[in-house]
Chain A
Amino acid sequence: MANRPEAAGNFLVPNGTFIAELIAFLLILGILYRYVVPVVQKAMRERQEMIRRQVEESEEASRKLAEAQQRYRDALNEARNEAAEIRETARADAQRTVEELRVQAREESARIVARGEEQLRRQRDAIVRQLREEIGTLAVELAEKIIDQRLTEDARVRQTVDSFIAGLEAQDRAGEAARAGS
Chain B
Amino acid sequence: MSATPQAVTVEVGDHIEWHLFGLTFNVDTILGTLVAGFIVVALGLLLRRSINSRKPSKLQIFFETVVAQVEEQVEGSMGIRTAPFVVPLAVTLFLFILIANWLAIVPTGHHPEYMPPPASDVNLTYALALFVIVLVHITGVRKRGFRSYYHHLLTPHPAMLPINIIEEIARPLTLALRLFGNIFSGVIMVSLIALFPAYILWAPDIIWKLFDMFIGLIQAFIFGLLTILYFASARPVEEGAH
Contact = CB atoms under 8 A, between A and B. Distances in A.
Given A2-B1, A18-B126, A21-B29, A29 B89 contact: yes
A17 B124 CA distance: 8
Contact of B34 (A2, A24, A31, A35): A24
Chain B CB count within 10 A is highest, among A11, A32, A39, for A32
Q: How large is the interface on A (under 10, 10 to 19, 20 to 34, 35 or more residues)?
A: 35 or more
B44 interface: yes
Given A1-B13, A33-B92, A14 B64 contact: no
Contacts of B26: 15, 17
B196 interface: no
B48 A36 contact: yes
B37 A24 contact: yes
A18 B121 CA distance: 9
Contacts of A12: 122, 177
A47 B63 contact: no
Chain B CB count within 10 A is highest, among A20, A21, A42, for A21
Given A9-B13, A36-B48, A50-B54, 14 more contacts: A1-B13, A14-B126, A15-B123, A16-B23, A16-B24, A18-B127, A21-B123, A25-B37, A28-B41, A31-B41, A32-B92, A36-B45, A40-B63, A43-B53
Contacts of B78: none
Contacts, number: 135
A39 B122 contact: no
Interface string B30-62: 100110010011001101100111101000100
A25 B96 contact: yes
A33 B24 contact: no
Given A18-B123, A18-B127, A35-B44, A43 B64 contact: yes
Contact of B37 (A2, A27, A41, A42): A27
B88 A29 contact: yes
A43 B67 CA distance: 11
B122 A40 contact: no
A47 B67 contact: no
Contacts of B127: 18, 21-22, 25
B25 interface: yes
5 contacts: A15-B23, A16-B25, A28-B92, A39-B48, A41-B67
Contacts of A31: 41, 44-45
B68 interface: yes
B216 interface: no
Chain A CB count within 10 A is highest, among B30, B60, B127, for B127
